[in-house]
A and B are shown apart, each in its own frame.
Chain A
Amino acid sequence: MTYALICLPFLAVAVVVAVVATRTLPPGDRRRRWAATGIAAAVLVVLTAVFDSIMIAAGLFGYADGTRLGPVVGLAPVEDFAYPIATVLLVPAVWTLARRRGTRAAHDED
């Protein structure tokens, strides 16, 4: 349970930033951003299932007993999938907000 509880606040931050960022986009771009986010999340979840399992099998890292919910995909604990879902939401959102800020600053100089 510990691992899942650690994931929650980080996932929440990613969701909030993504919602705030997409709201700054025009409606067409907003729909496209959510569609792209969904497809990218699906791709990264599959990649995570494959490569996380390989990384765990290679002994790169491990998890302490009793800290996980239990379900796994391959060798990857379900909690690990919070990482790609959070990055797919958060990173493009920060990119959009920063870009918007940059555009606005450029306009202000005029």
Chain B
Amino acid sequence: MTAFAYLAGLLLSIGAIVLIDVRWRLAFRRAPGPSALAVGTGTVLLLLWDLAGIGFGVFFRGDSPWATGIVLAPELPIEEPVFLLFLCYLSLVCVLGIERMLRHGGRRRAPSHGPATAASSTGDVTTTPGGRHP
């Protein structure tokens, strides 16, 4: 069971980001296509980066009791693309979340129909839970 600890931790962490994303309509719930493209592009680029590192003999897979030991390629464990996806998704939600906080100046609720709110410049939907749906 411990062999799945790292993979389970990664999946659990991705699940937590999904909850934040959905609750505050930051990425996938706001723009599913662009979000998939952005996280996908990032993950593929980081995989190439990893493969370059492996190719030049920089990285090697450790013999950890916390990893499954399943490899996709020499020195590339099955956990690695999951980690890279996690990192890309976390980066996206982090930047978009902080952007939202900066836009609303720390206020919990944004006025949905206020005169010319800052949010109108990007055409984003309101952040209020249960607010307008597209």
Q: A39-B98, A92-B95 are in contact. Are A67 and B38 (CB under 8 A)?
A: no
Closest A residue by C-beta to B87 = A87
B46, A60: Cβ atoms closer than 8 Å: no
Q: Does A81 contact B (CB under 8 A)?
A: no
Question: CA–CA, A51 to B98, complex, Å?
Answer: 21
* A2-B58 CB under 8 A given contacts A28-B118, A60-B67, A84-B87: yes
Chain A 77-101 interface 0/1 with B at a Cβ cutoff of 8 Å (1 = within): 0000001101110111111101100
Q: Is B62 an interface residue (CB 8 A)?
A: yes
B26-45 residues at the A interface, CB under 8 angstroms? 27, 31, 33-35, 37-39, 41-42, 45
Per DSSP, chain A at the interface is helix
Interface-forming stretch among B15-23, B48-56, B106-114, B125-133? B48-56
Are the CB atoms of B121 and A26 closer together than 8 Å?
yes
Kindly list chain B residues whose C-beta atoms are within 8 Å of the C-beta of A29.
121-122
A88 touches B94 (CB 8 A): yes
Majority secondary structure of chain B interface residues (helix, strand, loop or mixed): helix
| B-side contacts of A3, CB under 8 Å | 53, 56, 58
A91 touches B91 (CB 8 A): yes
A16-50 vs B, CB cutoff 8 Å, 1 = contact: the mask equals: 00000000011011001101110110011000000
Q: List 4 other contacts, CB 8 Å, given A25-B122, A83-B87.
A: A10-B46, A29-B121, A55-B6, A62-B59
Query: Can you report 18 residue pairs joining A to B where beta carbons are below 8 Å apart?
Result: A2-B57, A3-B56, A6-B49, A6-B53, A28-B118, A36-B95, A36-B96, A55-B6, A60-B62, A60-B79, A61-B62, A63-B59, A64-B57, A87-B91, A90-B42, A94-B34, A95-B92, A103-B123
